[in-house]
Amino acid sequence: MNTPFIIDAHAHLGPTQAFEAHHRELDAYMDILDRLGIELSFFSAMPTLENDFETGHRMTLEVLGKYPDRLRATGCSIPIGRKFRWPILKT
């Protein structure tokens, strides 16, 4: 069977305060991608969505480094105020 090139445009990785995500760890997530035939996935690291930008962006870069061909990421910050910055992503 020919296989289409499937891109997942919305995914999440990592822990969250709200609930216990069963497949939150990277290996479990990569297993889901393999099972469903997804070639490329755009993810957000959960800490960035809960205002822990430093932790979230460090996690983002670490994960991207492990699977540079399979993953893409979105950064997240609050684009107002004097503290707005992308320190991690500039390194």
Q: Which stretch binds another protein (CB under 8 A): 23-31, 40-48, 60-68, 80-88?
A: 23-31
**Closest by Cα among 5, 6, 27, 24 to 16:** 24
The SS3 assignment for 11 reads strand
Q: Which is nearer to another protein, 3 or 91 (CB)?
A: 3
Q: Which stretch binds another protein (CB under 8 A): 2-10, 53-61, 73-81, 82-90?
A: 2-10
- Binding positions for another protein, 25-44, rule CB under 8 A: 28, 31-32, 35-37
> 54 and 89 in contact (C-beta within 8 Å)?
no
Of these, 15, 21, 75, 77, which contacts another protein (CB under 8 A)? Answer: 21
3 to each of 10, 19, 37, 38, how far by Cα in Å?
A: 21, 34, 8, 10
Q: 7 forms bridges with which residues in the sheet? A: 40
Interacting residues toward another protein by CB under 8 A: 1-5, 18-23, 28, 31-32, 35-37
